[in-house]
Structures are given as structure tokens and as C-alpha cells.
């Protein structure tokens, strides 16, 4: 591939320990932005050989950049981790989250032994005792409710530990007859992946990152790459060096703004209207080849009709952009031969998100930009390979009931109909988190598979602590459809246990002898590959020898790996091979205000006039885990809110004030940051502070406790509704 020569190795190995520490200190003093922009070099430094006994190939278990790493060990202890310089996608870069694992592994706060609740006390029990207790509880459910046990045991996913853990958990529960594993998509990018699946036949990102070097225009649609995926920043720089124009759509100026040619700032939640306006413009200006478009799109004429009213004037009014900006953007996109859209996570977190992503797919389809080199769509966290249907069909009870989504599980918990909950993920990932907490508290037996005494532990009857990233082996997938193998670097401490082992042990006890025998994560991977035709070429050996990971699909060992477009020949994975824009359950493509928006709801206008938005910062990974790192806390600032000076003009607020950020559900305390980088009338706050963190930088109220319960058909809304600020 032509890009490979340029991508090559980063300069990380040229930085010695001393300069690393110096830069680290500078970054801390300079605040979050410098840390973000320096991340790709700053966090990649290896320790000199004299301080190290051995190095083990591993990977980071957090985001889907899936940085491969090298773990440095001295006297049986991890002393450092650095990015693998031969990784094609990262060039050896990492972000601070991956680096924080060294500290977290040895955290004095870490839970190392199973704990059983006895009144207000915790009693230490052995892993075997804990396992027996869980199995007993689950088998009792089957005994007590022989005709309707299916929805009485549930699990909150995801399992971060490895793909094998996800498989083992699914097998154990499905073979035992319990379908309810709450998909992380409910609280993540479920809307965009559903739209991609409906329209193209696969939920997976239609192309990979290397293709941005072959495009003309890259549109970052709310994709704050520098903050979310710091190791990919160099790809943005390389694309620009090659003449690619990068257009960034985001209501805020962020670190990513520095890497773009143009930024437009539509009002939050209006992206769908913007895209429908562009489509209307292209129809009106005859910038679409109708014959070609009709030949590969179902619903082309309906699209023309549905966008009829999205005139520049109307779209300008909705989005807050000028008609000139809108027309200029539409004209550029219409006249470009190759365009890639990169969707940020926020695109999926409005109640109009499925329609927005459907509109983006339609735009790419009518401009012939969905298939081939330099074209397509990338979705943040959108790389999970498919192809596991066969395996799922085999390893399940023959009469397994249909899976209930999170909201339906919550509905059952609230009515006391769930007896055992396996809490593998934070309950605080959902909106109205206090209501979720209340629902979980009605479950008879909650098992927490966590690492620290988090809010989740407060709800647990039994804690069985998990291993951390250096203590287990297994595969993990990444945003570029790559599958990566991670080796075990050190022994697991105390009586911690890998997720795959826990669920394999449990499976043997609750599945009536139908659960297969596994002695290692490799056994699970091999079985899955054996049953999955599109994984045949993804041999363990190939994964273990690759510093990058290997790209799915890979149906035959005799073929070579294929990156880039999932649909190279304009044939999509829909039943007739065409782009399917007709989705009866959604009706025509259209844009609507997000639920609870101050622009659409009288009450919100009056009482909660500001638009709430939130996002991930580089130093936090969800509600648990990295919140327990002092290393991360030095860069973090707890709960804060960004507002434009005009938003607080004449109201007596000043920068640094303590305020309450309030929605119709409640309030959290935060520090006010007055900045021109955000649109007037909009509030932005970081997503993942946690009240249980012992470090002030990470500590703060869980913001999902004030996120109202607004959902589209598949996933939750986290932005776009009304809020207000009150002096503390």
C-alpha cells in the first residue's frame, strides 16, 4: 500500500526517559490541550534495556484504536508500556489512558479477592466459593421458574477484557437459556450502526482509515479525533500533506480544529437537516447522475421527494449556518470525485440519529461515494468484525428466547422480575442513572465484575474482581476491522480472574453439560474461527505475529489481507446488493429536533433554555477504571461546563465560578469555563467523572444522573435537550 512507506515508524524510540518525564511535566502544567496534541509522541517512550528484563507484545483494552503495545517487565513487575512502533495504524503512538494501566495494575485501591456482602460488611471468600454461589443462584432461578426463567437472569455488557470473554459469556448464558445480554450499543453508537446495517447490510464501518489518503475531501462529522483517537492525528496530517481537504463539523472548537482546513459549527443535533439540505441542493443543481444512482439505490425517488422542503433558507434557520456556508459546502461535496465521512460518537447520541446517519448514507450513495478507494464512511468505535452468526446459532439453547434490550431489562428489574444480574459494565452508562440504580437495587443477587469499590460495588451482593490488561491473554478488535492478539505479561494477582475463565467456569456449572471444555483463551478463539467462515484466514499464528492486528473479513488463509472498502464493487450486503434507503419502520428520511430540545419544547424553552452537550476527554475511559488513576487525574479537572461569554452576559457569572448544571432530572456541581470555543446558548461538559475516585481531578458527580430518559428506537440520547446554570 502506498501509504505504508510514509506511515512507518514514529520517532518515539528517540525520546529518552528523562525527556519523557520533562515533557510530561510540561503537559501537566500546560493543561489538557498540550497533553492531547503531544500524546502521539509523548506517551510512546520505551525504557532503556538496562532497566528491563523482558518485553511482551500486548495491546490496550480501551478504545478501538486498539494500540498494540510492548510491555516492559523487571523482576516480574510491569515497569512501563509503550506503543508498538511497527503498528501500521498507530506508528507506535498511544494516548494516556493506555499508559495509565501501569499505575492501575498496582493501585492500592484495587480489589484482589472475591467479596461477599454480609449486611453492611464484606466477607472475603474464595473464587471457588464465589463461583458456586453464582451458579447456585442461577440454577435456583431455573428451578423456581421452570416455565419462564429466560428473562430472570441478565448481564450488562460490554466485557472489555477480550473477544474470548465476550464469547464465553454469551455461550454460558445462551446455552443455559438466558438471552438478555444488554448490548453496549444502547448507550453507544447503536443508532449509526443500525442505520448502516439497514442501508448497507452490515453495521461495520464501510471503509478504513488508510483510505483518507486517497480521498479528496474528508468530512469529520462531529469526530473530535485528537481527543477521542489521538494516535490517528498523524493520519490527518498525512492526508493534508497529500492535498486532502479536511472539513470539520462541530459546534465546538476542539484540539481537532487545528488539523482541519475548514470548520463549520452547526447547532447541536441539526446534522441531519444539514445533510438533507445538501442532498436537496444536489438534486436542484443536477449534480447527481440519476441513472447511476438509480441503478444502485432503492428509494432514490422517495429521497428526492422527502428532501423537497429542505431549502437553503430552511436549513440555515435550523442549523444556524449561513446559506452561503451551506451552499458552498454542498457545492464542494457535489463536485468532488471522492469523499469520506468520519462520524463522531455524538452523531449517534441524539433521538434523531438514525435518520441523520441514514441521510449521510443517502448523500454518499447519490454521489457514488460509498464504494471503492477514497470513498465511504467511517464510524467511531465502528470496527467490530461480523461473521459470528454460525457460532451464535450453534452455542445456544435450542429454545432460547429473543433478547430484550436494556430498557426492557430495566422494565423487568423495576417490577422485581430479574433475580440475578451480572454487572460487567457500569450501570451509570445509561441516562437517568439514578433510576437505573433504583432498578438494579431490586434485583435479588447482583454480581459485580469490577476492579474498584465503585458505585457499582455499592449495589453488589458479590464482587468477583477481574484481571487487568497485562494479566490475561486474548484477542480484541479495533476500529479498522482489525483483530489483535494480546499476550499475558504478568501473573494475575490475588484471586482475580479473567472474564473468559469466569464465564467458562460458570458455563460448566449451569449449562447441563453442553458447555465445551476450554483451558485457555486460545481454545475459545480457535473454536470461534473454526465455526466462522469469514474468519478462516485470521489464524492465531497470523494474529500473534502481527504488530498491527489482521483485518477482517479474511475468508481464506490462501488470500491476502484486504483493508479499505468493505464494498469495493458497488455491491452491498443487502438482499439485492443495492443501497436500501427505504426503511418502513422509520418512514421517509426527515429531520426532527432532538427530544427535549429548547427549540421544540415549550417547557424546556422557559425553564431550561440552554442546549446540553457532553463528550469524552482524552483522560477518561467511561465511568469506572481510569477514574482511579492519579496519573490521569493530574490532567483532569473534574466536572466543568464550557459556555460562551454571550450565554452568561449580564447574569453575574465569571470564569471559575462554582455553578449547578441543572436539567429536569436534577443538578450537578461544576466549575464554569467561559470560552469563545463554544456556540452561544450551548453548554458542554465532560462525560466521565466519578464520585468514587480518590483523586480530585477525576472526582465529580456522574453526569448521567441528570441526563433525561430520551431514546430513539434503539439507543439513548445524551445531548441536545434543555438545561440551565445556577450559581452554587
Binding site for another protein (CB under 8 A): 64, 148, 151, 158, 183-186, 188-191, 193-194, 196-198, 201-205, 354, 379, 381-384, 386-387, 389-390, 401-405, 407-408, 410-412, 532-534, 553, 555, 573, 583-586, 711, 713-715
Q: Using CB under 6 A as the criterion, which residues of the chain lie in contact with ligand SF4 when the complex forms?
A: 60, 62-63, 65-67, 94-95, 97-98, 229-231
Which is nearer to ligand SF4, 476 or 647 (by Cβ)? 476
Work out whether strand 666-674 and strand 153-156 pair parallel, antiparallel, or are unpaired. Answer: unpaired
Which is nearer to ligand SF4, 163 or 229 (by Cβ)? 229
Which is nearer to another protein, 96 or 185 (by Cβ)? 185
Which is nearer to another protein, 405 or 626 (by Cβ)? 405
Closest Cα partner for 195 from 354, 309, 38, 428? 354
Which is nearer to another protein, 336 or 709 (by Cβ)? 709
Least distance between ligand SF4 and beta carbon 176 (Å): 33
Which is nearer to another protein, 198 or 659 (by Cβ)? 198
* Cα separation, 563 vs 205, whole angstroms: 12
Helices (H), 15-162: 17-30, 32-42, 96-99, 101-105, 127-144
Least distance between another protein and beta carbon 160 (Å): 11
Question: Cβ(200)–Cβ(573) under 8 Å?
Answer: yes
Residue 70 binds which entry of another protein, ligand SF4, none, CB below 5-8 Å type-dependent: none
> Between the CA of residue 726 and those of 610, 667, 713, what are the distances in Å?
12, 9, 33
Least distance between ligand SF4 and beta carbon 185 (Å): 19
Residue 95 binds which entry of ligand SF4, another protein, none, CB below 5-8 Å type-dependent: ligand SF4
* Cα separation, 71 vs 77, whole angstroms: 10
> Between the CA of residue 307 and those of 300, 366, 460, 588, 592, what are the distances in Å?
11, 13, 51, 9, 13
Q: Which three cell numbers stand for residue 127?
A: 473464587
Q: Which three cell numbers stand for residue 654?
A: 465569571
Residue 609 burial by Cβ neighbours in a 10 Å radius (0-12, 13-18, 19+): middle
Q: Which three cell numbers stand for residue 609?
A: 433554555
Which is nearer to another protein, 120 or 148 (by Cβ)? 148
Residue 407 binds which entry of another protein, ligand SF4, none, CB below 5-8 Å type-dependent: another protein
Residue 581 binds which entry of ligand SF4, another protein, none, CB below 5-8 Å type-dependent: none
Residue with nearest beta carbon to ligand SF4? 98
Which is nearer to ligand SF4, 63 or 457 (by Cβ)? 63
Which is nearer to ligand SF4, 24 or 272 (by Cβ)? 24
Residue 140 binds which entry of another protein, ligand SF4, none, CB below 5-8 Å type-dependent: none
> Between the CA of residue 573 and those of 91, 205, 579, 637, what are the distances in Å?
32, 13, 9, 45
Residue 60 binds which entry of another protein, ligand SF4, none, CB below 5-8 Å type-dependent: ligand SF4
Least distance between another protein and beta carbon 566 (Å): 10
Which is nearer to ligand SF4, 62 or 149 (by Cβ)? 62
* HSE (side-chain half, CA atoms, 13 Å) at 129: 11
Residue 311 binds which entry of another protein, ligand SF4, none, CB below 5-8 Å type-dependent: none
Least distance between ligand SF4 and beta carbon 65 (Å): 4
**Looking at residue 573, what DSSP letter applies?**
S
Which is nearer to ligand SF4, 62 or 710 (by Cβ)? 62
Residue 231 binds which entry of ligand SF4, another protein, none, CB below 5-8 Å type-dependent: ligand SF4
* Cα separation, 347 vs 644, whole angstroms: 22
Q: Which residues contact 290 (CB under 8 A, 6 or more apart)?
A: 300
Residue 715 binds which entry of ligand SF4, another protein, none, CB below 5-8 Å type-dependent: another protein
Least distance between another protein and beta carbon 27 (Å): 28
Residue 429 sits at the vertex; the CA angle it makes with 630 and 614, to the nearest 5 degrees, is: 75
Least distance between another protein and beta carbon 23 (Å): 32
Which is nearer to another protein, 387 or 594 (by Cβ)? 387
φ, ψ of residue 356 to 5 degrees: the values are -60, -45
DSSP for 530-557, please give it: HH-GGGTT--HHHHHH-SS-EESP---T
**Looking at residue 239, what DSSP letter applies?**
H
* Cα separation, 559 vs 183, whole angstroms: 33
**Sign of the four-CA dihedral 13, 16, 19, 25:** positive
Residue 588 binds which entry of ligand SF4, another protein, none, CB below 5-8 Å type-dependent: none
Residue 379 binds which entry of ligand SF4, another protein, none, CB below 5-8 Å type-dependent: another protein
Residue 410 binds which entry of ligand SF4, another protein, none, CB below 5-8 Å type-dependent: another protein
* Cα separation, 152 vs 175, whole angstroms: 15
Least distance between ligand SF4 and beta carbon 123 (Å): 35
Which is nearer to ligand SF4, 68 or 667 (by Cβ)? 68
Least distance between another protein and beta carbon 714 (Å): 3
Question: Cβ(665)–Cβ(608) under 8 Å?
Answer: no
Least distance between ligand SF4 and beta carbon 697 (Å): 18
Residue 67 binds which entry of another protein, ligand SF4, none, CB below 5-8 Å type-dependent: ligand SF4
> Between the CA of residue 56 and those of 261, 376, 452, 471, what are the distances in Å?
40, 36, 26, 11
Least distance between another protein and beta carbon 537 (Å): 12
Least distance between ligand SF4 and beta carbon 55 (Å): 17
Least distance between ligand SF4 and beta carbon 59 (Å): 7
Cis peptide before 335 (omega within 30 of 0): no
* Cα separation, 522 vs 474, whole angstroms: 7
Amino acid at each position: 500500500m502506498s501509504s505504508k512507506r510514509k506511515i512507518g515508524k514514529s520517532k518515539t524510540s528517540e525520546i529518552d526517559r528523562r525527556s519523557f518525564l520533562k515533557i510530561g511535566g510540561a503537559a501537566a502544567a500546560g493543561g489538557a490541550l498540550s497533553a492531547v496534541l503531544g500524546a502521539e509522541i509523548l506517551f510512546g517512550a520505551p525504557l532503556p534495556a538496562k532497566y528491563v528484563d523482558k518485553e511482551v507484545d500486548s495491546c490496550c483494552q480501551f478504545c478501538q484504536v486498539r494500540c498494540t503495545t510492548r510491555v516492559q517487565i523487571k523482576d516480574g513487575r510491569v515497569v512501563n508500556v509503550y506503543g508498538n512502533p511497527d503498528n501500521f495504524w498507530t506508528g507506535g503512538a498511544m494516548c494516556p489512558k493506555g499508559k495509565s494501566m501501569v499505575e492501575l495494575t498496582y493501585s492500592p485501591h484495587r480489589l484482589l479477592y472475591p467479596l461477599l456482602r454480609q449486611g453492611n460488611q464484606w466477607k472475603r471468600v474464595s473464587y471457588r466459593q464465589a463461583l458456586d454461589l453464582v451458579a447456585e443462584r442461577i440454577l435456583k432461578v431455573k428451578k423456581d421458574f421452570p416455565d419462564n426463567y429466560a428473562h430472570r437472569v441478565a448481564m450488562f455488557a460490554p466485557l472489555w477484557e477480550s473477544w474470548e470473554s465476550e464469547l464465553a459469556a454469551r455461550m454460558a448464558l445462551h446455552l443455559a437459556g438466558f438471552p438478555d445480554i444488554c448490548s453496549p450499543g444502547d448507550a453507544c453508537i447503536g443508532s449509526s450502526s443500525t442505520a448502516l446495517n439497514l442501508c448497507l447490510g452490515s453495521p461495520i464501518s464501510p471503509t478504513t482509515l488508510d483510505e483518507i489518503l486517497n480521498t479528496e475531501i474528508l468530512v469529520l462529522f462531529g469526530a473530535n479525533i485528537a481527543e477521542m483517537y489521538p494516535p490517528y492525528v498523524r493520519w490527518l496530517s498525512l492526508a493534508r500533506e497529500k492535498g486532502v481537504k479536511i472539513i470539520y463539523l462541530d459546534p465546538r472548537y476542539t484540539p481537532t480544529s487545528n488539523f482541519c482546513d475548514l470548520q463549520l459549527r452547526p447547532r447541536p443535533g441539526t446534522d441531519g437537516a444539514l445533510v438533507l439540505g445538501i442532498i436537496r441542493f444536489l438534486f436542484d443543481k443536477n449534480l447527481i447522475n440519476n441513472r447511476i444512482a438509480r441503478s444502485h439505490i432503492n428509494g432514490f425517488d422517495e429521497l428526492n421527494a422527502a428532501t423537497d422542503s429542505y431549502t437553503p433558507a430552511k436549513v440555515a434557520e435550523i442549523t444556524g449556518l449561513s446559506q452561503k456556508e451551506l451552499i458552498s459546502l454542498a457545492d464542494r461535496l457535489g463536485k468532488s470525485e471522492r469523499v469520506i465521512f468520519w462520524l463522531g460518537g455524538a452523531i449517534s447520541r441524539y433521538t434523531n440519529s438514525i435518520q441523520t446517519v441514514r441521510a449521510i448514507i443517502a448523500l454518499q450513495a447519490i454521489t457514488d461515494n460509498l464504494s471503492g478507494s477514497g470513498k465511504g464512511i467511517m464510524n467511531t468505535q465502528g470496527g467490530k468484525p461480523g461473521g459470528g452468526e454460525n457460532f451464535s446459532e450453534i452455542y445456544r439453547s435450542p429454545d432460547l428466547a429473543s433478547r430484550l434490550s436494556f430498557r426492557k431489562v430495566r422494565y423487568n428489574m423495576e417490577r422485581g422480575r430479574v433475580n440475578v444480574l451480572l454487572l460487567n459494565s457500569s450501570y451509570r452508562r445509561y441516562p437517568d442513572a439514578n433510576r437505573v440504580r433504583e432498578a438494579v437495587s431490586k434485583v435479588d443477587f447482583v454480581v459485580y465484575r469490577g476492579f474498584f469499590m465503585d458505585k457499582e460495588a455499592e449495589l453488589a451482593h458479590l464482587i468477583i474482581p477481574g484481571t487487568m490488561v497485562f494479566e490475561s491473554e486474548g484477542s480484541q478488535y479495533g476500529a479498522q476491522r482489525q483483530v489483535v492478539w494480546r499476550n499475558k505479561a504478568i501473573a494475575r494477582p490475588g484471586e482475580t480472574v479473567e472474564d473468559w475463565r469466569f464465564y467458562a467456569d460458570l458455563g460448566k456449572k449451569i449449562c447441563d453439560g453442553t458447555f465445551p471444555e476450554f483451558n485457555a483463551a486460545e481454545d475459545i478463539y480457535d473454536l470461534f474461527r473454526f465455526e466462522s467462515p469469514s474468519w478462516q484466514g485470521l489464524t492465531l499464528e497470523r494474529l500473534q505475529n502481527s504488530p498491527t492486528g489482521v483485518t477482517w473479513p479474511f475468508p481464506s488463509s490462501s488470500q491476502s489481507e484486504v483493508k479499505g472498502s468493505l464494498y469495493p464493487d458497488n455491491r452491498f450486503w443487502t438482499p439485492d446488493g443495492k443501497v436500501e434507503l427505504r426503511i418502513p419502520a422509520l418512514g421517509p428520511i426527515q429531520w426532527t429536533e432532538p427530544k427535549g430540545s429548547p427549540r421544540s419544547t415549550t417547557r424546556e424553552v422557559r425553564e431550561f433554555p440552554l442546549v446540553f452537550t457532553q463528550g469524552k476527554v482524552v483522560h477518561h475511559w467511561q465511568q469506572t477504571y481510569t477514574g482511579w488513576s492519579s496519573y490521569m487525574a493530574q490532567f483532569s479537572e473534574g466536572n466543568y461546563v464550557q459556555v460562551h461569554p454571550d450565554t452568561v452576559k449580564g447574569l453575574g457569572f465569571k470564569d471559575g465560578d462554582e455553578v449547578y448544571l441543572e436539567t429536569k432530572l436534577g443538578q450537578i456541581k461544576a466549575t464554569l469555563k467561559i470560552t469563545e470555543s463554544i456556540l452561544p446558548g450551548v453548554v458542554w461538559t465532560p462525560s466521565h467523572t466519578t464520585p468514587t475516585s480518590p483523586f480530585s481531578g477525576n472526582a465529580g458527580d456522574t453526569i448521567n444522573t441528570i441526563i433525561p430518559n430520551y431514546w430513539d428506537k434503539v439507543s439513548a440520547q445524551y445531548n441536545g435537550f434543555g438545561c440551565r446554570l445556577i450559581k452554587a
